Structure 1
Amino acid sequence: MTTLDFFIVTVAIPATRRDLQAGTAAMQLVIAGYGLAYAAGLILAGRLGDLYGPRRVFTAGLALFTLASAVCGTAPTASVLVAARIGQGLAAALLAPQVLALLAALYPGAGRARAFGWYGTTVGLAGVSGQLIGGLLVAADPAGLGWRTCFLVNLPLGLVALASVPLLLPEVGGPGEKRPGRRGLDGVGALLLAAGLLALAVPLSVGREQGWPAWTWPALAAAVPLLAGFVGRQHRRTAAGRAPLLDLTIFREPGFALGLVAVLALFAGSAGLSFVLTLYLQDGRGLAAAAAGGLVTALNAGFLAGSAVTGRLAGRLGWRLPFAGGLALAAGLALMHHAAAGPVERLAAGLAVAGMGMGWVMSPLIASVLAGVRGRHAGLAAGVLGTVQEMAGVFGVTAVGAIFFAALDGGAATGAGRPGLADWTGALRSGLALLIVFALAIPVLVRLHSRVGSRRHRR
């Protein structure tokens, strides 16, 4: 639900804007407000799970997410929709880290790898299916609800999940487990971290669309002292024997930091591909939302095919499976680069290969990043991982989008002033070139991560 909700709304933006008579800035905030609130709250939410128990925080986050979805789906104005989306993002931040923490606690040994495999498959499928599902919901227009169904679809899912919690989800940690309580929660550190992430992410999310106004540069500059202040505060709290919000020793866990860089490359590439592909298919090729989503089913099919064999192959191949997945992802993007000038249907083969590569990478990579983290850091590690995923999306859209629009504007400037098909094709190829670089970084990082893990095992 939390991953799908970021992507499913993108395809509904044109209909939402018409219905609510909203401007482009408000529609940007419908997308960015969710992602930014999600990213800013994840580490705090992971810490809350460690303090109060992941089941309790999971239930609270799920209830708030369902309620916020109802408000989004019934919003009478753009302002209400934006506010509800921010609330939805904060609820998603509460919910998401607890999933990984619960999986880590409830499935020991070999079962944990399978659980993380299903988690990676689910998250990946939600990411690659969002546009298709959103397009189908908008096109179906049940009860004349149109774009609102993209939010209201969460209500039955959320209510069923809430009803299932007491039946299916045990509490983890025995009654004697020590939890530090409120005094262990660093409120000032949480504010510094949230402010630093927002100062970094807001300009990157909306700056290009608004022509990089003057306020974006001071905001980006402010991110440095805010995040440095946060790190310094965590060091001081640790030295004083007080519980930090972010225990920086987690980055000493073998391979954790290196694995996060690989996650950054994967999710930046995934978000960047979704962004430029949507623009190219709908604005450049003139496809309707449902037709564009239909073409992207090739990516979904490849991802499902790759994920289906991951559980069987991961144990035998180890690091070689995500290594091969990174190469397959790069090959699929290269096929798309080659096919971009032809009929749009030719992109399907490259999308299928790229999706298969994502399926080989995602589950084993997430499992390997979290495998070496000690149990007391489970919630925190999940929060850090989620924050990296969300910030990777902002970075990927910004970086790939900047190259895409630079090529598109440059092509239009040499023509009649309005981009034609050749300009759109050139822009897509420019964006794909950067995405190929992201993809090729993954096998390199996976191999380095495996060597760190091997050294840890020998010790």
Structure 2
Amino acid sequence: MSTHTLEPQVRRASLLAGHWAPLPVVLAGTFMVVLDFFVVNVALPSMQSDLHASDGAIEWVVAGYALTSAVLLITAGRLGDQFGRRKVFSFGLALSTLASLVCGVAGSAEMLVAARLLQGAAAAILMPNVLSIIGVAYTGSDRARALTAYGLVMGLAAVGGQLIGGVLVQADIAALAWRTCFLINVPIGLAALALAPRVVPESRNEHASRLDVTGTLLVTAGLTAVVLPLVEGRQHGWPAWTWISLGLAPLILGAFVAHQRRLATNGGTPMLDTTLFAQRSFTAGLLTQFAFWGGQASFFLVLALYLQAGRGLSAMTAGLVFTILAASYLAASMVSEGLLARFGPRVLAGGALTLATGHALLLAAVAEVGVGGSIAALVPGLLVIGAGMGLVIAPLTTTILSGVDPQRAGAASGMLATTQNVGNALGVAVTGVIFFGALHGGYDHALQLSLAQLAILLVAAAALARLLPRQSPATS
């Protein structure tokens, strides 16, 4: 018997509205979440100038979003199972719209960071419930088409985020400048909110697991104990509290792991399915995911600052520079699954090394031209970086999940998404220490050191990817 129940009146409304009517509504939420993460990159310099924000505040604009979305992601998925996926999706949509509005009217860096933390929480509520709604509303080939559309929207929002941000900042509509990067979400969110009750069917899990509040609090405290001192420590001269916080972080995270194991042993429902770690391939996959994503958000951050604050490019021109990378990313993504089927995890290792090579080429170009010279010098490195990303992002998820029992795919997917966001948050914090700490030597010098660190991280990701099996029993 299915554990998904549809409320009769909403089911009828959904059928009357059309089979595909729910899809654009839930994908509007997906577009908002992904756009929120990427659109800010080219707007950061103007934000910093307008709000007189510190370097740490700018890091928090990116890292804070990833942090709150990471720690709340799995819990939010369970909220949808328990209280109704459409209801929780609509709540996340309303929260995201409100947070976007607050970001757009923020009068201080502190207010902007607080609103970004709220945006991250809204993203955590939205994303798992979008996938759950698609999984319930569509079956067979229709589900495959819906998931393809989901991936396409994510890709377009991610790839186009920088360009959209540049266009909005450059257009300076109503003298709002960077604020339009957030305010653009408000009409989208309001429209989706108005349509959701009419076209999105309600569903819930009759056997939904209980929430692990203690686990959520522990992992939030543990990750914050790492990110907070890394972001704030340098500009405050690394006071004693930063070292105390970093020292406490392993203890708090250790307590989280012990709590998860205790819950599992006693028949409870922990945030993480700890039995998955018994599979070497899954553990290696999570470590690869962490290492790879630890260099993604941070790269976009430091490149945007170099292009605008260092080279003096406008937001629009910087956005166009990012499209160079986007073009090769899309091209590589189109062939990545075919290459994975033929060569297995070697594609992931090769993609990570390709990305590391791109960082090395970009480093060499920046060392040659500094903050002047032609942008053309950066093109080879950017093209190789985009290709490396395209060879890794989708195939990595496919490879890791292929080794997981289908009955546990949901738990594994949640852990993968959480690991991705944790990697982004910690990556911004660590690379931020290097980049902002080296600014005394100029933006070109700071970018070179950051690229060297990111290249080393990617070599580690390539080594970890070699531990993944070519074909797992689950797919045989």
TM-score band by shorter chain is 0.7 to 0.9
Equivalent position of 2:257 in the other structure: 231
Given the superposition, is the C-alpha separation of residues 188 and 55 from structure 1 closer, same or farther in structure 2, using an over 3 Å criterion? same
Could you give the per-residue CA deviations for residues 299-323 of structure 1, whole angstroms, max 9, x where no partner exists? 1111122223345555455445434
SS state at 2:123 partner: helix
Could you give the per-residue CA deviations for residues 156-210 of structure 1, whole angstroms, max 9, x where no partner exists? 332344455467655567x7x4224xxx222222211211121122222332344
Q: Distance in 1 between matches of 2:472 and 2:405?
A: 17
Equivalent position of 1:214 in the other structure: 240
Percent identity over paired residues: 48
Equivalent position of 1:438 in the other structure: 457
Preserved CA contact (<8 Å) 1:136 1:290: yes
Pick one of 175, 179, 183 that aligns with 2:208: 179
Preserved CA contact (<8 Å) 1:3 1:123: yes
TM value normalised by structure 2: 0.80
Preserved CA contact (<8 Å) 2:44 2:305: no
Preserved CA contact (<8 Å) 1:40 1:198: no
Pick one of 366, 383, 390 that aligns with 2:414: 383
Residue 298 of structure 1 and its aligned partner are, at CA, apart by 0.6
Q: Distance in 2 between matches of 1:92 and 1:6?
A: 10
Pick one of 391, 395, 405 that aligns with 1:360: 391
Given the superposition, is the C-alpha separation of residues 30 and 271 from structure 1 closer, same or farther in structure 2, using an over 3 Å criterion? closer
Given the superposition, is the C-alpha separation of residues 276 and 32 from structure 1 closer, same or farther in structure 2, using an over 3 Å criterion? closer
Residue 445 of structure 1 and its aligned partner are, at CA, apart by 3.0
Residue 351 of structure 1 and its aligned partner are, at CA, apart by 0.6
Q: Distance in 1 between matches of 2:166 and 2:391?
A: 27
Deviates more, 1:214-223 or 1:120-129: 120-129
SS state at 1:296 partner: helix
Pick one of 103, 114, 137 that aligns with 1:83: 114
Residue 287 of structure 1 and its aligned partner are, at CA, apart by 2.3
Q: Distance in 2 between matches of 1:375 and 1:135?
A: 42
Equivalent position of 2:288 in the other structure: 262
Preserved CA contact (<8 Å) 1:3 1:127: yes
Pick one of 82, 85, 98 that aligns with 2:129: 98
Residue 364 of structure 1 and its aligned partner are, at CA, apart by 1.5
Equivalent position of 2:472 in the other structure: 454
Equivalent position of 1:398 in the other structure: 429
Could you give the per-residue CA deviations for residues 10-67 of structure 1, whole angstroms, max 9, x where no partner exists? 4333433454565666555444433332222223223334544544433321222122
Preserved CA contact (<8 Å) 2:212 2:270: yes
Deviates more, 1:140-149 or 1:319-328: 319-328
Preserved CA contact (<8 Å) 1:36 1:89: yes
Preserved CA contact (<8 Å) 2:403 2:472: no
Q: Distance in 2 between matches of 1:374 and 1:49?
A: 23
Pick one of 162, 165, 172 that aligns with 1:131: 162
Q: Which amino acid aligns with 1:448?
A: L
Q: Distance in 1 between matches of 2:111 and 2:432?
A: 28
Could you give the per-residue CA deviations for residues 131-172 of structure 1, whole angstroms, max 9, x where no partner exists? 332222111112222221111111233234445546765556
Equivalent position of 2:319 in the other structure: 293
Q: Distance in 2 between matches of 1:128 and 1:205?
A: 26
Could you give the per-residue CA deviations for residues 330-349 of structure 1, whole angstroms, max 9, x where no partner exists? 33223223322133321112
Preserved CA contact (<8 Å) 1:46 1:94: yes
Q: Which amino acid aligns with 1:309?
A: V
Unpaired runs of at least 5, structure 2: 1-31
Q: Which amino acid aligns with 1:179?
A: A
> What is the 5 A alignment of 1:219-368?
219-252=245-278, 255-310=281-336, 313-340=339-366, 341-342=368-369, 343-368=374-399
Q: Distance in 2 between matches of 1:324 and 1:113?
A: 28
Equivalent position of 1:7 in the other structure: 38
Residue 9 of structure 1 and its aligned partner are, at CA, apart by 2.2
Q: Which amino acid aligns with 2:449?
A: S
Counting matched residue pairs gives 440
Preserved CA contact (<8 Å) 2:404 2:474: no
Preserved CA contact (<8 Å) 1:269 1:435: yes
Residue 377 of structure 1 and its aligned partner are, at CA, apart by 4.2
Equivalent position of 2:26 in the other structure: none
Equivalent position of 1:416 in the other structure: none
Preserved CA contact (<8 Å) 1:199 1:220: yes
Q: Distance in 1 between matches of 2:156 and 2:144?
A: 18
TM value normalised by structure 1: 0.83
Q: Which amino acid aligns with 2:72?
A: G
SS state at 1:334 partner: helix
Q: Distance in 1 between matches of 2:145 and 2:338?
A: 10
Residue 92 of structure 1 and its aligned partner are, at CA, apart by 1.1
Given the superposition, is the C-alpha separation of residues 392 and 58 from structure 1 closer, same or farther in structure 2, using an over 3 Å criterion? same
Could you give the per-residue CA deviations for residues 70-117 of structure 1, whole angstroms, max 9, x where no partner exists? 222233554443332222121111112334455666777888788767
Given the superposition, is the C-alpha separation of residues 127 and 264 from structure 1 closer, same or farther in structure 2, using an over 3 Å criterion? farther
Q: Distance in 1 between matches of 2:399 and 2:133?
A: 17
Q: Which amino acid aligns with 1:290?
A: M
Given the superposition, is the C-alpha separation of residues 326 and 245 from structure 1 closer, same or farther in structure 2, using an over 3 Å criterion? closer
